[in-house]
A and B are shown apart, each in its own frame.
Chain A
Amino acid sequence: MSKDVTQKVSNHIGGKDLITVGIYTVIYIVIIGIFGALSFIPIFIPLTAVFCPLIGGIPFMLYVTKAKKFGMTTIMGTLIGILMFVMGMGYWVAITGLVFGLIADLVLKSGKYQSAKRTILACGFFSMWEFGNLMPFFVGREAYLAQLQEGYGAEYVSTVSSYMPMWILPILLIATFIFGLLGGLIGKAICKKHFKRAGIA
């Protein structure tokens, strides 16, 4: 009597994987939404670059224990982008979702989906999708300021610009990455403390 190898290791993304992606996307978005809801208050918007990556690390680090095929993380990023777009967050996030999902996927692949360090690095990159949500503050800015300039003059606009400086853009971008890394570390700890012991990781 021969023993079958029960699960062929294939790189093809099948139905089960696609459902897994969907499920973790929901969990991720719901958790992010806890803080995202705060961003209805404009002052909190830059802070989403800190909180969302930090907390998003928990579901992401659990997700990567299931997503061992190339493409799954890219799809998750893309989905988050599409959903954010449909929810009215602008079209930038659809692009950042896809791009940073893909980068994270490549990083994971380079570690053969096993390396602990690479998963945390991937978490850092993945978290940068959040930056797409903040893009409208910078991209449409010139148009907006130009519009103001027509009404109130150049001097006024330069004062306003100082309140919303352009240099905060790279800082936010880096922040999403750094806090993404931290979130990855937290997520890893939580996986070990809870999910492994509860039998789901």
Chain B
Amino acid sequence: MIEFREVSFSYGQNEQTCGIKNINLTIEDGQCVLLCGESGCGKTTLTRLVNGLIPHFYEGDLSGEVWMDDKNISKMPLYDTAAIVGSVFQSPKSQFFNVDTDSEIAFGCENLGLPEQEIRHRVKRTVRELQLESLMGRSIFHLSGGEKQKIACGSVSALYPEVMVLDEPSSNLDAAAIQDLRRTLTVWKKQGKTILIAEHRLFYLTDIADRILYLKNGKIIKEFTQHEFKKLSEEERHKMGLRSLSLENLSFSSAYVTDLEETMLLKDFCFSYRTGLDALHISNATIPKGEIIAVTGLNGAGKSTFARCMCGLEKRCGILEIKGRVLNWKKRLKYCYMVMQDTGHQLFTESVLDEILLSMETEDEEEACKILKKLDLLDLKSRHPLSLSGGQKQRVAIASALVSGREIIVFDEPTSGLGLHHMEEVAHSLRELRQEGKTLFVITHDPELILSCCTHVIHMKNGEITENYSLDRNGIKQMLSFFQNPIKEGSL
């Protein structure tokens, strides 16, 4: 049993994350509790209180107590909490500590100094239970995000904790990996573990969660049972800022019909890495110009290689023909722009204004301010770009693309880990860019984003474009059927 007694917490001034206020909460053994709410509502903070990262890792002002049975977690050192609470985090790339999968699964047990025989036994059992056989003996650097997340679950599982805490575990996963994660959660639930999960994407959890807590501004505002939660009306859900609860009946405002007036031609987009992963072979494709094109497909289908080739980042790869203009990779470096998943990689200067000026052919402050104003960034112009929130950074990157006159902008998973309102903001920016006549490619695993702004879909598999259709009524069905049934695709 986990018990929060009058718990309040606030981070130091530097942190953008908001704290929590006066939480009283009891979670019974074996319950699966879903924490939802918009970004900054305090759901992550709540998970950090259970796994002890607050107050032992993240500093701030804490009052009240968090108890687990007869143990006061806030007073227990982290390595003792580790044996009873297991944690899985958002980013697959930063939560493994070893470089090979076997060591990673044994890692927690090794830290706690369990006897060698016991560890071997536990690793074997965990591998069997979570079906990790095919991932054993591999380098973690060569795994996909979904596979890494599976290993992270295994590593936690081997410690045999009573409580599992997950903080937005699906943010960086593709549709198939989310199904895998769901299966893992089901296994844990069957084992009688208490599960606490903070999440934006809700559709894969509606059948698992016993109890749903809705947080806002650091407080628990509403509580639902699974049954009540499923019956939430679309309107209420939207008002609460929650992502959709099921992929079966996603709403879409109006089906868009493209007229395919102008097109562009891709030729010889072929590329392969020395590792052989994520190769690309598109010999010929016609894609509409001036549309918002969703690029879908599972991880490893070649989507990011496609994006890199499009932006001219892979040398001598492919030719793009637009209105009789032929653009080779070198010309595309100046014609296209990528808004990366981690926009922190592409902001270099010490202020937002400098960032825009850097992208201009000739520096013109007035012009720069105009663009900033349009993207709602003018108030932030003297801030350090790396101190901004994710969405703001994204807009700065967009501004620098606009100001350097790029015609094609590629977005790499722009909505991973975003709540409904932030996702809608992104969709809004994308639609505005289209109004200006830009062509946008959006690599995404987010069907809601596709429905709220995209007009065309290219679906990739094994480095090829297998489907290429506009998002009319039939197109929407086609697109959704992939997200509802990704496993079929994976096994083919």
Pairing of A with B: yes
A residues adjacent to B (C-beta < 8 A):
1-4, 6-7, 15-16, 193-194, 197-199
Least distance between B82 CB and chain A CB atoms (Å): 10
Report the bound CA distance from A193 to B382 in whole Å.
12
Q: A194-B386, A199-B387 are in contact. Are A1 and B6 (CB under 8 A)?
A: yes
Minimum CB distance partner of B78 in chain A: A15
Q: A194-B384, A197-B384, A198-B386 are in contact. Are A3 and B78 (CB under 8 A)?
A: no
Q: Does B57 contact A (CB under 8 A)?
A: yes
Report the bound CA distance from A193 to B387 in whole Å.
12
Contacts of A2 in B (CB 8 A): 63
A–B Cβ pairs within 8 angstroms, 29 of them: A1-B6, A1-B63, A1-B64, A2-B63, A3-B61, A3-B62, A3-B63, A4-B62, A6-B55, A6-B59, A6-B61, A6-B62, A7-B55, A7-B56, A7-B59, A15-B78, A15-B79, A16-B57, A193-B350, A194-B350, A194-B384, A194-B386, A197-B383, A197-B386, A198-B384, A198-B387, A199-B14, A199-B386, A199-B387
Minimum CB distance partner of A200 in chain B: B386
Report the bound CA distance from A197 to B59 in whole Å.
19
Contacts of A199 in B (CB 8 A): 14, 386-387
Contacts of A15 in B (CB 8 A): 78-79
Contact with A along B45-71 (1 / 0, CB 8 A): 000000000011101111110000000
Q: Does B74 contact A (CB under 8 A)?
A: yes
Interface centre among A2, A3, A6, A194 (most CB of B within 10 A): A6
Minimum CB distance partner of B57 in chain A: A16
Contacts of B14 in A (CB 8 A): 199
Q: Is the CB of A4 within 8 A of B350?
A: no
Minimum CB distance partner of B13 in chain A: A199
Contacts of B59 in A (CB 8 A): 6-7
Report the bound CA distance from A157 to B62 in whole Å.
72
Report the bound CA distance from A15 to B57 in whole Å.
10
Contacts of A4 in B (CB 8 A): 55, 62-63, 74
Report the bound CA distance from A1 to B57 in whole Å.
23
Identify the 10 closest CB pairs spanning chains A and B, nearest first: A197-B384, A198-B386, A6-B55, A199-B14, A7-B59, A6-B62, A198-B387, A199-B387, A198-B384, A3-B63
Report the bound CA distance from A16 to B109 in whole Å.
18
Least distance between B141 CB and chain A CB atoms (Å): 15
Least distance between A21 CB and chain B CB atoms (Å): 15
Q: A4-B74, A15-B78 are in contact. Are A197 and B387 (CB under 8 A)?
A: yes
Minimum CB distance partner of B6 in chain A: A1
Minimum CB distance partner of B16 in chain A: A199
Report the bound CA distance from A80 to B14 in whole Å.
31
Q: Is the CB of B350 within 8 A of A6?
A: no
